[in-house]
Amino acid sequence: MNKNVSGKTEEQQAIEALQARFDELSHERTRIEARQEAAQKQLDELQEQSRQQFGTDDVAELEKKLASMQKENEEKRARYEASLDGIEGKLKEIENQFAPVDPEEADD
């Protein structure tokens, strides 16, 4: 039996090292389980919020709704841009109608 300076055998030291390692892993497991529970709770809350707001929590359905909303927004933006272009054009027409006549141009 090999004893070191502290009087413990190599086997005792190995067992203590393994016990310390086990304790560390056990604590890590507890931390991971707590994070997992928190993540699951957050997921459940977000799914409920999604069901209330969009009528579903299915990712594929939500992606379809998003694509539809993006398309609708693009169509609205294009109509708005066209409307502004029309207003701008009419304003330029009015401006040209009522622009002061340059006396030098009138002499030509």
Bridge partners of 9?
Answer: 3
Maximum pairwise Cα distance, the chain: 124
pLDDT value at position 44?
A: 97
Cβ distance 57 to 47 under 8 Å? yes
Cα–chain center distance at 94: 47
**CA 13 to CA 19: how far, in whole Å?**
10
* The model's pTM: 0.57
DSSP 98: T
pLDDT value at position 100?
A: 77
pLDDT value at position 5?
A: 54
Q: Flag whether pLDDT at 103 surpasses 70.
A: no
Amino acid at 12: Q
pLDDT value at position 8?
A: 82
**CA 92 to CA 81: how far, in whole Å?**
16
DSSP 55: S
